[in-house]
A and B are shown apart, each in its own frame.
Chain A
Amino acid sequence: MMAFYFSRLVEIFPFFLKGLWMTTKVAFLSLIICTLIGFILGMIRSGNNRILKWIIGTYVAFARGTPFVVQIFIVFFIFPEWGLQLEAFPAALLAMAIMGSAFICEIVASGINAIPKGQWESASSSGLTKLQQLRLVILPQSMKVIVPPLVGQYVLLIKDTSVVSVIGVMELTRVGWVTVVRIPEGLMVFALVGILYFSISYPLILLSNYLEQRMAL
């Protein structure tokens, strides 16, 4: 029986590759969006505007303090009631963006705050604008602190894409659920799912370790 299921699994393997492709697409697009929004929020959060800081702080607390599956339900089922109706794929991206940017915001803000105040003073006393100070003096130094945990966060976010299966996005995890109905060999099916996830996250784990060592010097 095992052998039979295995040959069935090999038969429908292209279906898994499609799921892997969808997972990669959700992960890749949402990582780009998260990074952009996360950096912008992080820069504002490390700044001086108290009202903006408070708003972002609240947003970050909510996004970090509630389960992702709840957030994705809110985006997919509650947002339409407020007038924002989205297909499953864009809804998944939006939910990922909300959750991921909150984590990245914190990484970026703490990286910026790790730079001594004297660097800001030195840059501002030479006449650089606030944005130039950040871009030319502060961020290049912060990157050392930011990049290793950022890549680690990417790994977590890639794995979190499995949650978007709950709203019907046909990514890797969903492919697993659908398959296991027809091939009731759970261990075999989800081992395959796991291996495929691992194939995209492991290179990033290696990269994260490498960067951590290099940046520590």
Chain B
Amino acid sequence: MSKSTNQESISNHKIEKYRHLYVIIEHFEGQVIPVSLEMLGEARRLMDEFNSKYNSTEKVVAVVLGNNVRKLCDDLVTYGADSVIYADHEELKYPRNDIDTKVIVQIANDAKIMKIISPEYENTFVKPRYMFFAADNIGRHLSSTVLAELDSGLASDINKLVISDLDIRHEHKTKGQSIRYEKILEMYRPDFSGFLWTTILCLDNKNPEILREYHPQGCSIIPGAFRPIEKDNLRKGTIVEYSPNIDQELKIKILNRKVIKRTIDYETCKIVVSFGRGIKDNPEQNIKLIEEFAHLLGAEIGITLPLSKKPYQVSQNLDSKYMIADRVIGTSGSKITPTLYVAVGLSGAVQHVAGMKESEMVISINTDENSPIIDESDIFIKGRMEEVVPILIEQIKKQMSSISVRSS
């Protein structure tokens, strides 16, 4: 056993069974998707701090499932992983919940891998300490089934993480006693409105009547919430091939798989005008106004999430064109980086801001100076969109024609 482990077990008077932070990586057409690198970045920051605080050598372990995925592994090291465990199998080519769950659980329960990635913990390792998934169409369900099988706790849609020691007094967890919990992952989750943060903890039951241990502490992470670390080609890491046990009959057959280009292309678009529930006083009229404004700027149109749920009655034409999921800007939709972002009648909830905060210039039009969007704006035009947008249209038309007259 290494020196640091000795010291730890002496100071804690117990042997730790749970080690490392496992990050479940997603990829698509040979590319790691951005949220996976963002999770690695946050995992790196957390574990660097963790190891120095607790004098330990716990790792960031990336887990990749797929077919021909060895080539992705080196990159994961350069983005912060200490170890990469990859399972390469024909049957793992596309994500499928049942088989992926089983393979991830096999990997999580496998103490023999420790011989390669951290021999100092080989004899004591039982399960990962923490586990991260992406809060997207794949990771949301995968995290649920993996943690159900591992019989531990899971928090969804997290955008802030802290590891700390906490004194907890809880009716059931501690039977009303105050007990110190060490190395607890505080998982912060923004609520529906985007204004409240709920901190969720996954805690062992230390109540003698219901003793239970809950590891790993799991969460799914909002895409765009964290930043990847700077790619470092000199970083070293261990890459381990894992041979999964895929003998069970596979229940799901993929008959056909089509990739559809997103209909709205925010990537090549320099200007985006987005609107939110501020259109409420006259939705039909206001959308038409914003449409005219966007045309004038040559801009694409975005919306906030609530509008994709069709809360207002508008004409069929506007409804099918604009009130659609494809236009949502934010964690549930697109993350964009235009030269100019114009936010019309939207409040700037964290989930929305995550999708537009990298815009070069931001102008917002809003009646309320207390709306959080003001902090993300270079220019905040205070007023009703019904009045402000027509002024802008008029002024832009005027100046444009005068400039072109002069230059001709």
Co-assembled chains A and B: no
